[in-house]
Structure 1
Amino acid sequence: MNTPPKKNQETRKTNPQDSTQKTTRKKSTVLRLVLAITCIVVGVALLAFAGLRLAGISFGTTSVQDKPISDVMTMAEKGQLKSVSIAGNEITVTAKNGQEYHSIKEDGQAVTDTFRKNGVSVNIENNQNTQWVQGVVNVVLLLLVAGSLFFIMRRGSMGSQAAPFARSKAKRFNESRPSILFKDVAGVDEAKIELQEIVEFLKYPERFREMGARTPKGVLLVGAPGTGKTLISRAVAGEAGVPFYSVSGSEFVEMFVGVGAARVRDLFKEAKANAPCIVFIDEIDAVGRQRTNSGTGGNDEREQTLNQLLVEMDGFDKHTSVVVIAATNRPDVLDPALLRPGRFDRRVMLDKPDIRGRHAILEVHAKDKPLAKDVQLEELARQTAGFSGADLANLLNEAALLAARAGERTIRKTHLEEAILRVMAGPERKSRMITEEEKAIIAYHEVGHAIVMRSMPGADPVQKVSAIARGMALGITVQAPAEDRYLLRRSELLAKMAGAMGGRAAEEIIFGDVTTGASQDIEYVTNVARRMVCEFGMSPLGKVALRVEPDGSTTLSPEMAAKIDAEVAKLVDQAYETALSILRERKDKLVEISEHLIRVETIDGSELDAMLFAA
C-alpha cells in the first residue's frame, strides 16, 4: 500500500509571534489615531490663537465690555477716552481708567474727526490684513478637517484593514505544536471516527481531489453541555497540525446592524489566507436560529449575520482547505438553510458517556493525580451514571482539592465519594443552624425517599442518604442505576414518581402535617407525569403527541387541555398513594432508620439495605 505523500510542512508553519504581532498592530493603530486627533486639536487651537493675535484681539486680564456707539461718542466728548482702534466697523476704545470697550459703528458713519477733535489717539487698522489672516486660518482648518476625515475613512475601510469594531473576535490557536490530540479525548469514539476523515483531508487534500471527492465543508457537533464538543474540535486541529480559530456565535451579533456580517467576512478572509485551517463556532444557535416569515420584523442584525455566514460557506471552492466546525445543544432551532448539503452537511452526535466511556475519561484526567490503592476507577465510573466529561473532570479536581486541604498525599475513596456529592448537590453546609425538630423532619423525609425507592420493583439502588444540607437542599438521597439505561418502562417511571413522593408521605405519616420541603419533588413528579401523558402516550388519552411549546403556545383545545391536566393529576395522586401504602406497611423501619440517621447524619447504600432487610 502506497503511503500518501506528506504535505510540505513549511506551508503549514505559522509564526509563533502571530498573536503578539496582532496585539502590537492593534495598539499601534489606536496610538496613531489618538496622536492624529491630538495633533488636530492642538493645531486648531494654535492657529485660532495666532489668528486672533494677528487680528489685534488682546488676551490680557482686562475684560472688554460692549457699548453702543452713542455711549462711546458721549465718552469722547466728555474727555474720558484715551485711545481708539478702528478696523472697518469694529471699534475698540480704551478709557483713561484703563477699561476697554468694544462697539460697532454704522456704515458710512464718520467718527474719526470726532475722536481727534476731543484729543483721542486714533489708530486705523488695515482691514484687508485681518481678512487675509482669517482666510489663512480658515484654509488651514479646512485642510486639517479634510486630513482627519481621510485618515479615519482610510483606517475604517474594509479594504486593507478592518475597523476595530468590525474585526472578527475569533481567537487563533496555533496547532503546529498541538497541545490536544485524539488520545486526550475519551468517551467519544464514534465522533473521533467521523472526524478522522476531516483530519485526513486537511493533511492530504490531494488524495481526495484525485478521486473527485469533496470533503464536508461544515461539521455540526450536537451534544449536551460538557460532552467535549470544543475539546474534540481542538483535537482535530491538533491531529492535522493546522491553525484553529475559535469564536462564539454571540460574538458576531452586536447592537448595530451590519457589524456581525462584517465580522463574519473578516473571519473567513483571515481563515482563507491561512488555509488549511479549522474555524470553530461555538453555540451557533445564537446566530443561526430559524428566520421567521411572520412579517412582524425581527432581529435584523442576527439575520444579516446569518445570511453572510451562509454566503461565506457557499463561497468555498473545492480547493479551499477551510473546514467549519460548529457546536450546539439546540439543533432543533437552527435554520434549515444552514443544515442543507453543501454547508453543514455532516452531523456528529456527542452523547453523555456510557460506563466504558466514563472509565476512559477518568483515566485521562487521573494521569497526573496520585490515587490511593483503594480507588477503583471502574467502580467510580459505575457510580457516576449520567455524568458528562466535564462533570468527571470536575469530580477528580474536587477530590484533589479535598485531599490537599486535608493534608493527604494521595486521593482516597472517601474524597471521591464526597466529590460526587459536591458535583451533584454542592458542598456541605454544616454551618446552617437547624433546630432539632427540623432535623428530624429532614431525616424522616430522606429516609421516606430511600425506603420507597428500595421497595419498588425495578427501582435503581440507593447509594447514600444524608440529612446534611448541601447547596439549596436540606438533605439528599442519591439513587444511581446499576447500569446505563436508554429506555424506561412505564412501571419504572411510576416507581421513580413514587420514590420522589416518599418524602412528603413520610412527613404526613409521622408528623401528621406536611412542609414546604417537598416542592422540588412535586415539581419533578408533575413533569414526569406530563411527559407520560403528552409525549410518551402512557395514558388513557391515547398514543398521540400533545406537546405544549416552551413559550406556552399550543394547538390544543380547552377540552383536551383539561383532560391532560386531569390525567397528570391522576398519575401524581397514584404515585403519592403508592408511597403512603409502602411507608405505612414499613413504618417501624422508617422510624428505626430515621432515628439512626439523626444520630449519624449520613448512611450509605449497603448500611441502608442491612437495616431495611434485616430479619
Structure 2
Amino acid sequence: MTAKLQAGPRAKGLPRLEDAIEYGAARQWALDLRDDLADVRRGIVGLDQVDRGAVLFGPPGTGKALLAQMLGEACGIPTVVASMGEFFATTSGYLDSVIKAQRKVFEEARSKAPSFLFLDEINALPNIDKLGDRGRDWWLPVILDFYTLLDGAMSDRDGVIVIGATNRLEDINPALLRPGRLERAIYVGPPDAAGLERIMRHHLAGDLTGEDLGPLALIGSNVGATGAIVMEQVRAARRRARRAGRSMLLEDLMVQIVSEDDRSVEDLRRTALHEAGHVVAGLVQDVGAVKTVSILSTGASGGNVSFDERSLAYSTREHLDAMIVTLLAGRAAEQLVLDVPSQGAGGAADSDLGRATQLMTSIFTATGLGGSLLFRAPFDRAHELLVVDPELRRQVEKGLADLYDRAVDLLRRHKGVLLAVADALIEKRFLTGEQVKKVVERFPLDPPTLS
C-alpha cells in the first residue's frame, strides 16, 4: 500500500533548512525536494515525480546527517538515521544477523512512512565490481540483499526516500547511483564565510549577540572550518568563560579559532612579506580579486591568501603562467626584501611550490598549451611523470625558473605596494578584500596582462 503523505509535527532544536545557507547547492536540492513533497500532498503530482533518493558526499564534519534531519523537519516527516557500521557493531557480525539488521532499518522506515531513511557511511558497503575472491562469498549476499531492500523501498513508492552519505564518493558502486535508486550525488562541502557566521550564531544562541562575527567567520572559511569544528570552538569558548566565572567574550571564541602566536618579530615580517607577494602578483596579473589575506596562526598554516579565482576550464597559457607567478611570488618577495628566501614555499604537495610544479607539469602533459597536443596524464596525476621523464623535468624546471624571475621582477617594480600590504598585515594580522583594496589604491599598478 502506498503511504499517504501528511505533514507531521516539527521537531525542536534543529536549524531551519530555509536559513541554512552554508549548504549551498545541497540546500537548494533539499528545498526543491520539500516543495515537491508539498505538491504531492496537494495532489498536484504523484510520488513518481519526486526524487527517490540521493547520496550526500563531502569532507567529514560538514553536516550531512544534520541536513537530512533538517530536511525531515522541513517536510514534517520523520527521519530514520542509521549507519552501515551499525549493522556490524550492533550484531554478532555473522551473515544472517547483518542482513537482519539492515532489513530491520528499512522496515522501520516503512513503518513510519512517509519518511526519510538516512544511511551514513554508505561507502562501507563494498563495490560489488571490485570484490576479490577473499570475502566475496560473505559480502555478496549482504550487498545483493541491500540492493533488493533499496529497490523495494523505491519501487513500492511507500513514501520512503533514502539518503546515503559518505566522505569517499569514489568508493561508491555506480550501481547505487543509477536511476531508480539513489539517482544523484550532491556535494556538501565546508561552508563559506557567510555560512560559518550563521553556524556560529546558531551554536552561540544568545551569547555575543552584539559582536561582529564576520572577521572570525572569514578566518574560519580560509582554513576550511566545518560546522563540527565551529560547534567544538563555541563549546570550548563557553568552557573558557565559565572557568573564568564570567559571561562569554568575543576573545573567548577568538582564541579557539586563532592559535597562540609565538613567532618572532622577524618571522612575522617574513610571513607578511610572503603573503603580500601573493597579493600583489595576483592583483597586477588580474588572477582574481583578493577575498582575504591573513598571517594569523590557525594551526594549519602561518598565513594564507584567498582569491576569487576564475575556473581553470577556460584558462589560456597566459593565465596559467600568471597563476604560477602568483604562487611563486611569496618566495620571491622574501628574496627581494630579505635577500634570502625560507623553505615556507615548499614542503608539501599543496604548498606554493607543489602547486606551481603541478600546474607547470600539466601545461606540458595535460592541457595542450605547452607546445604539444599530446595528452599524457590527467591534471592531478601529471606530476607523476616527472619521476620517469628527465626531459619533462628539464622543461618544467626551466619553466618554473623563468616564471620565478618574472615574479621577482614584478615585485621589484611594485615594491612600494608590497611593503605597504606587508605593513598592514603586521598591524592587523588579517585583512579583508576591501581593506587590501584601500591599501593598494594608493599605488599605481601595471595594467593587467590578462584578458
TM-score by length of 1: 0.54
Superposed counterparts of 1:312-391, under 5 Å: 312-316=149-153, 318=156, 320-350=158-188, 368-372=206-210, 375=212, 390=227
Is the alpha carbon distance of 1:485 and 1:261 closer, same or farther for their aligned partners in structure 2, counting shifts above 3 Å?
farther
Alpha-carbon distance, 1:234 to partner: 0.6
What amino acid is aligned across from residue 577 of structure 1 in structure 2?
D
Q: How many angstroms apart in 1 are the aligned matches of 2:207 and 2:72?
A: 27
Query: Which residue number in structure 2 is paired with residue 270 of structure 1?
Result: 108
What amino acid is aligned across from residue 529 of structure 1 in structure 2?
M
Q: How many angstroms apart in 2 are the aligned matches of 1:609 and 1:402?
A: 38
Alpha-carbon distance, 1:438 to partner: 4.7
Q: How many angstroms apart in 1 are the aligned matches of 2:232 and 2:399?
A: 36
3-state SS of paired residue (1:501): helix
Structure 2: runs of 5+ lacking an equivalent: 445-451
Superposed counterparts of 1:154-553, under 5 Å: 177-180=11-14, 181-186=16-21, 187-188=24-25, 189-196=27-34, 199-200=37-38, 204=41, 207=43, 213=48, 215-223=50-58, 225=60, 227-252=62-87, 258=95, 260-289=98-127, 291-292=129-130, 297=134, 303-316=140-153, 318=156, 320-350=158-188, 368-372=206-210, 375=212, 390=227, 397=234, 426-430=258-262, 434=264, 438=267, 441-461=270-290, 463-466=292-295, 469-473=297-301, 475-481=302-308, 486=311, 489-490=315-316, 491-519=318-346, 520-532=351-363, 536-542=367-373, 544=375, 546-547=377-378
Q: How many angstroms apart in 1 are the aligned matches of 2:374 and 2:109?
A: 50
Is the alpha carbon distance of 1:383 and 1:207 closer, same or farther for their aligned partners in structure 2, counting shifts above 3 Å?
same
3-state SS of paired residue (1:460): strand
> Does the 8 Å CA contact 1:371/1:411 hold for their aligned counterparts?
no
Q: How many angstroms apart in 2 are the aligned matches of 1:270 and 1:604?
A: 52
> Does the 8 Å CA contact 1:220/1:348 hold for their aligned counterparts?
yes
Alpha-carbon distance, 1:280 to partner: 0.5
3-state SS of paired residue (2:183): strand
What amino acid is aligned across from residue 502 of structure 1 in structure 2?
A
What amino acid is aligned across from residue 55 of structure 2 in structure 1?
L
Is the alpha carbon distance of 1:223 and 1:268 closer, same or farther for their aligned partners in structure 2, counting shifts above 3 Å?
same
> Does the 8 Å CA contact 1:362/1:392 hold for their aligned counterparts?
no
> Does the 8 Å CA contact 1:359/1:378 hold for their aligned counterparts?
no
Alpha-carbon distance, 1:260 to partner: 3.9
Q: How many angstroms apart in 1 are the aligned matches of 2:252 and 2:442?
A: 29
Alpha-carbon distance, 1:233 to partner: 1.0
Alpha-carbon distance, 1:506 to partner: 3.1
Query: Which residue number in structure 1 is paired with residue 409 of structure 2?
Result: 581
Moved more, 496-505 or 213-222: 213-222
Structure 1: runs of 5+ lacking an equivalent: 13-174
Alpha-carbon distance, 1:566 to partner: 4.8
Q: How many angstroms apart in 2 are the aligned matches of 1:527 and 1:485?
A: 18
Q: How many angstroms apart in 2 are the aligned matches of 1:442 and 1:400?
A: 28
Is the alpha carbon distance of 1:357 and 1:533 closer, same or farther for their aligned partners in structure 2, counting shifts above 3 Å?
farther
Alpha-carbon distance, 1:310 to partner: 0.8
Q: How many angstroms apart in 2 are the aligned matches of 1:545 and 1:297?
A: 35
What amino acid is aligned across from residue 239 of structure 1 in structure 2?
A
Q: How many angstroms apart in 2 are the aligned matches of 1:333 and 1:288?
A: 8
1:242-285 deviation per Cα after TM superposition (whole angstroms, max 9, x unaligned): 33222233444579562543432232233334433321112322
> Does the 8 Å CA contact 2:59/2:190 hold for their aligned counterparts?
yes
Is the alpha carbon distance of 1:612 and 1:452 closer, same or farther for their aligned partners in structure 2, counting shifts above 3 Å?
farther
Give the RMSD, CA atoms, in angstroms: 5.1
Q: How many angstroms apart in 1 are the aligned matches of 2:425 and 2:50?
A: 63
Alpha-carbon distance, 1:395 to partner: 11
> Does the 8 Å CA contact 1:245/1:278 hold for their aligned counterparts?
yes
Q: How many angstroms apart in 2 are the aligned matches of 1:182 and 1:244?
A: 14
Partner residue of 1:569 out of 382, 385, 397: 397
> Does the 8 Å CA contact 1:185/1:231 hold for their aligned counterparts?
no
Alpha-carbon distance, 1:326 to partner: 0.8
Q: How many angstroms apart in 2 are the aligned matches of 1:494 and 1:391?
A: 37
Alpha-carbon distance, 1:237 to partner: 2.0
TM-score by length of 2: 0.70
Q: How many angstroms apart in 2 are the aligned matches of 1:394 and 1:470?
A: 17
Q: How many angstroms apart in 1 are the aligned matches of 2:272 and 2:31?
A: 49
> Does the 8 Å CA contact 1:372/1:410 hold for their aligned counterparts?
no
Q: How many angstroms apart in 2 are the aligned matches of 1:566 and 1:439?
A: 35
1:499-549 deviation per Cα after TM superposition (whole angstroms, max 9, x unaligned): 332232233334544432222321232234345555555433337472288
Identity %: 23
Q: How many angstroms apart in 1 are the aligned matches of 2:201 and 2:35?
A: 26
Q: How many angstroms apart in 1 are the aligned matches of 2:223 and 2:386?
A: 37
What amino acid is aligned across from residue 354 of structure 2 in structure 1?
E
1:123-157 deviation per Cα after TM superposition (whole angstroms, max 9, x unaligned): xxxxxxxxxxxxxxxxxxxxxxxxxxxxxxxxxxx
3-state SS of paired residue (1:344): coil
Query: Which residue number in structure 2 is paired with residue 610 of structure 1?
Result: 439
1:191-225 deviation per Cα after TM superposition (whole angstroms, max 9, x unaligned): 12332266448x84x9589x684755432234555
Alpha-carbon distance, 1:610 to partner: 3.3
What amino acid is aligned across from residue 334 of structure 1 in structure 2?
I
3-state SS of paired residue (2:130): coil
